[in-house]
Structure 1
Protein backbone atom coordinates (compact mmCIF):
# COMPACT_ATOMS: atom_id res chain seq x y z
CA UNK A 1 0.00 0.00 0.00
CA UNK A 2 2.92 2.34 0.70
CA UNK A 3 4.25 1.95 -2.86
CA UNK A 4 0.75 2.46 -4.24
CA UNK A 5 0.23 5.68 -2.31
CA UNK A 6 3.65 6.86 -3.46
CA UNK A 7 2.62 6.23 -7.06
CA UNK A 8 -0.68 8.08 -6.58
CA UNK A 9 1.11 11.09 -5.06
CA UNK A 10 3.64 11.11 -7.91
CA UNK A 11 0.84 10.90 -10.49
CA UNK A 12 -1.05 13.76 -8.85
CA UNK A 13 2.04 15.96 -8.60
CA UNK A 14 3.05 15.25 -12.20
CA UNK A 15 -0.45 15.88 -13.51
CA UNK A 16 -0.67 19.22 -11.70
CA UNK A 17 2.74 20.50 -12.88
CA UNK A 18 1.94 21.08 -16.54
CA UNK A 19 -0.20 20.05 -19.47
CA UNK A 20 2.56 17.69 -20.60
CA UNK A 21 2.64 16.05 -17.17
CA UNK A 22 -1.11 15.64 -17.26
CA UNK A 23 -0.89 14.01 -20.69
CA UNK A 24 1.85 11.69 -19.41
CA UNK A 25 -0.21 10.51 -16.44
CA UNK A 26 -3.33 10.22 -18.59
CA UNK A 27 -1.39 8.07 -21.06
CA UNK A 28 -0.10 5.83 -18.28
CA UNK A 29 -3.55 5.27 -16.81
CA UNK A 30 -5.35 4.33 -20.03
CA UNK A 31 -4.17 0.71 -20.09
CA UNK A 32 -5.95 -2.18 -18.39
CA UNK A 33 -2.99 -3.11 -16.19
CA UNK A 34 -2.62 0.45 -14.87
CA UNK A 35 -6.34 0.70 -14.17
CA UNK A 36 -6.26 -2.66 -12.41
CA UNK A 37 -3.34 -1.55 -10.25
CA UNK A 38 -5.09 1.75 -9.46
CA UNK A 39 -8.25 -0.20 -8.59
CA UNK A 40 -6.27 -2.39 -6.21
CA UNK A 41 -4.61 0.58 -4.54
CA UNK A 42 -7.86 2.50 -4.10
CA UNK A 43 -9.67 -0.61 -2.87
CA UNK A 44 -6.98 -1.21 -0.25
CA UNK A 45 -7.07 2.43 0.85
CA UNK A 46 -10.87 2.37 1.13
CA UNK A 47 -10.84 -0.79 3.23
CA UNK A 48 -8.05 0.63 5.39
CA UNK A 49 -10.08 3.80 5.98
CA UNK A 50 -13.27 1.90 6.84
CA UNK A 51 -11.49 -0.50 9.18
CA UNK A 52 -9.69 2.42 10.82
CA UNK A 53 -12.99 4.15 11.55
CA UNK A 54 -14.30 0.89 13.01
CA UNK A 55 -11.27 0.60 15.28
CA UNK A 56 -11.66 4.20 16.44
CA UNK A 57 -15.28 3.45 17.32
CA UNK A 58 -14.12 0.35 19.18
CA UNK A 59 -11.66 2.49 21.14
CA UNK A 60 -14.61 4.67 22.19
CA UNK A 61 -16.44 1.63 23.54
CA UNK A 62 -18.66 0.68 20.60
CA UNK A 63 -18.76 -2.92 19.36
CA UNK A 64 -17.14 -4.23 22.54
CA UNK A 65 -19.13 -7.44 22.68
CA UNK A 66 -18.26 -10.40 20.48
CA UNK A 67 -21.59 -10.40 18.61
CA UNK A 68 -21.54 -6.68 17.81
CA UNK A 69 -17.86 -6.92 16.88
CA UNK A 70 -18.63 -9.63 14.35
CA UNK A 71 -21.53 -7.65 12.92
CA UNK A 72 -19.37 -4.55 12.57
CA UNK A 73 -16.61 -6.58 10.89
CA UNK A 74 -19.11 -8.04 8.42
CA UNK A 75 -20.52 -4.56 7.77
CA UNK A 76 -17.02 -3.24 7.02
CA UNK A 77 -16.38 -6.10 4.61
CA UNK A 78 -19.72 -5.41 2.90
CA UNK A 79 -18.97 -1.69 2.65
CA UNK A 80 -15.50 -2.46 1.30
CA UNK A 81 -17.04 -4.64 -1.43
CA UNK A 82 -19.42 -1.82 -2.35
CA UNK A 83 -16.48 0.63 -2.35
CA UNK A 84 -14.51 -1.73 -4.58
CA UNK A 85 -17.36 -1.93 -7.09
CA UNK A 86 -17.83 1.85 -7.11
CA UNK A 87 -14.12 2.42 -7.69
CA UNK A 88 -14.19 -0.12 -10.53
CA UNK A 89 -17.14 1.64 -12.17
CA UNK A 90 -15.42 5.00 -11.76
CA UNK A 91 -12.15 3.77 -13.30
CA UNK A 92 -13.67 1.92 -16.21
Structure 2
Protein backbone atom coordinates (compact mmCIF):
# COMPACT_ATOMS: atom_id res chain seq x y z
CA UNK A 1 0.00 0.00 0.00
CA UNK A 2 1.42 3.37 -1.02
CA UNK A 3 0.82 6.11 1.54
CA UNK A 4 0.51 9.71 0.43
CA UNK A 5 2.81 11.76 2.60
CA UNK A 6 3.67 15.44 2.44
CA UNK A 7 6.70 16.12 0.30
CA UNK A 8 7.35 19.69 1.41
CA UNK A 9 7.48 20.34 5.15
CA UNK A 10 9.16 23.74 4.88
CA UNK A 11 6.68 25.96 6.76
CA UNK A 12 8.05 29.12 5.17
CA UNK A 13 6.80 28.03 1.74
CA UNK A 14 3.27 27.15 2.88
CA UNK A 15 0.67 29.88 2.42
CA UNK A 16 -1.51 29.73 5.52
CA UNK A 17 -5.06 31.11 5.36
CA UNK A 18 -5.84 34.29 7.30
CA UNK A 19 -7.67 32.37 10.02
CA UNK A 20 -4.60 30.17 10.64
CA UNK A 21 -2.34 33.22 10.81
CA UNK A 22 -4.77 34.85 13.26
CA UNK A 23 -4.79 31.76 15.46
CA UNK A 24 -1.00 31.46 15.47
CA UNK A 25 -0.58 35.17 16.22
CA UNK A 26 -3.11 34.86 19.06
CA UNK A 27 -0.93 32.21 20.68
CA UNK A 28 2.27 34.20 20.10
CA UNK A 29 0.70 37.30 21.66
CA UNK A 30 -0.25 35.26 24.72
CA UNK A 31 3.33 34.07 25.15
CA UNK A 32 4.63 37.61 24.62
CA UNK A 33 2.29 38.92 27.32
CA UNK A 34 3.50 36.23 29.72
CA UNK A 35 7.10 37.36 29.33
CA UNK A 36 6.13 41.05 29.42
CA UNK A 37 4.33 40.39 32.69
CA UNK A 38 7.69 39.62 34.32
CA UNK A 39 8.87 43.16 33.56
CA UNK A 40 5.55 44.69 34.63
CA UNK A 41 5.53 42.89 37.99
CA UNK A 42 9.16 43.89 38.60
CA UNK A 43 8.37 47.56 37.78
CA UNK A 44 5.35 47.55 40.10
CA UNK A 45 7.29 45.95 42.94
CA UNK A 46 10.25 48.28 42.52
CA UNK A 47 8.10 51.39 42.29
CA UNK A 48 6.22 50.48 45.46
CA UNK A 49 9.33 49.56 47.45
CA UNK A 50 10.48 53.11 48.23
CA UNK A 51 10.38 56.66 46.89
CA UNK A 52 13.82 56.04 45.35
CA UNK A 53 12.51 52.89 43.66
CA UNK A 54 9.59 54.85 42.26
CA UNK A 55 11.94 57.52 40.89
CA UNK A 56 14.17 54.82 39.37
CA UNK A 57 11.26 53.15 37.57
CA UNK A 58 9.90 56.52 36.47
CA UNK A 59 13.28 57.47 35.01
CA UNK A 60 13.67 54.06 33.39
CA UNK A 61 10.24 54.18 31.74
CA UNK A 62 10.89 57.55 30.09
CA UNK A 63 13.58 56.10 27.80
CA UNK A 64 12.81 55.23 24.19
CA UNK A 65 13.58 51.54 24.73
CA UNK A 66 11.15 51.32 27.65
CA UNK A 67 8.45 53.10 25.66
CA UNK A 68 9.05 50.67 22.79
CA UNK A 69 8.73 47.71 25.17
CA UNK A 70 5.55 49.19 26.63
CA UNK A 71 4.18 49.68 23.12
CA UNK A 72 5.03 46.09 22.23
CA UNK A 73 3.34 44.86 25.39
CA UNK A 74 0.21 46.88 24.69
CA UNK A 75 -0.07 45.77 21.08
CA UNK A 76 0.35 42.14 22.18
CA UNK A 77 -2.40 42.69 24.75
CA UNK A 78 -4.66 44.41 22.21
CA UNK A 79 -4.21 41.65 19.63
CA UNK A 80 -4.78 38.95 22.22
CA UNK A 81 -7.94 40.72 23.35
CA UNK A 82 -9.25 41.14 19.78
CA UNK A 83 -8.38 37.54 18.92
CA UNK A 84 -10.03 36.34 22.11
CA UNK A 85 -13.22 38.21 21.26
CA UNK A 86 -13.13 36.63 17.80
CA UNK A 87 -12.73 33.18 19.36
CA UNK A 88 -15.64 33.83 21.73
CA UNK A 89 -17.85 34.63 18.74
CA UNK A 90 -16.63 31.47 17.04
CA UNK A 91 -17.52 29.47 20.16
CA UNK A 92 -21.04 30.88 19.88
CA UNK A 93 -21.31 29.54 16.33
CA UNK A 94 -20.39 32.61 14.27
CA UNK A 95 -17.60 32.86 11.66
CA UNK A 96 -17.28 29.07 11.40
CA UNK A 97 -17.50 28.93 7.62
CA UNK A 98 -14.32 29.28 5.59
CA UNK A 99 -15.14 32.66 4.04
CA UNK A 100 -16.59 34.33 7.15
CA UNK A 101 -13.75 32.97 9.30
CA UNK A 102 -11.20 34.39 6.89
CA UNK A 103 -13.01 37.73 6.73
CA UNK A 104 -13.21 37.98 10.52
CA UNK A 105 -9.47 37.26 10.78
CA UNK A 106 -8.72 39.97 8.21
CA UNK A 107 -10.96 42.40 10.11
CA UNK A 108 -9.08 41.66 13.32
CA UNK A 109 -5.77 42.38 11.54
CA UNK A 110 -7.04 45.73 10.26
CA UNK A 111 -8.46 46.78 13.64
CA UNK A 112 -5.25 45.66 15.35
CA UNK A 113 -3.08 47.78 13.04
CA UNK A 114 -5.28 50.82 13.74
CA UNK A 115 -5.06 50.18 17.49
CA UNK A 116 -1.26 49.77 17.22
CA UNK A 117 -0.99 53.13 15.43
CA UNK A 118 -3.19 54.81 18.04
CA UNK A 119 -1.11 53.30 20.85
CA UNK A 120 2.12 54.45 19.19
CA UNK A 121 0.73 57.98 18.99
CA UNK A 122 -0.38 57.82 22.64
CA UNK A 123 2.98 56.55 23.92
CA UNK A 124 5.52 58.34 21.72
CA UNK A 125 3.87 61.72 21.12
TM-score by length of 2: 0.66
Query: What is the aligned partner in structure 2 of residue 32 from structure 1?
Result: 64
CA distance in 1, matches of 2:115, 2:37: 17
Q: Kindly indicate whether residue 41 of structure 2 is the aligned counterpart of residue 9 of structure 1.
A: yes
CA distance in 2, matches of 1:9, 1:86: 25
Q: Give the alignment of 1:1-92 within 5 angstroms.
A: 1=32, 2-92=34-124
Structure possessing the higher relative contact order (Cα contacts under 8 Å, 6 or more residues apart): 2
- Aligned-residue Cα RMSD (Å) equals 1.5
CA distance in 1, matches of 2:118, 2:53: 27
The structure with more radius of gyration: 2
What is the SS of the residue equivalent to 2:96? coil
Give the helix-richer structure, 1 or 2.
1
State the shift of 1:5 in Å: 1.5
CA distance in 1, matches of 2:122, 2:50: 24
- Change in CA separation of 1:12 and 1:83 when aligned onto 2, cut-off 3 Å: farther
Unaligned runs of 5+ in 1: none
What stretches of structure 1 move > 4 A for 4+ residues in a row?
none
Count of residues in correspondence between the two structures? 92
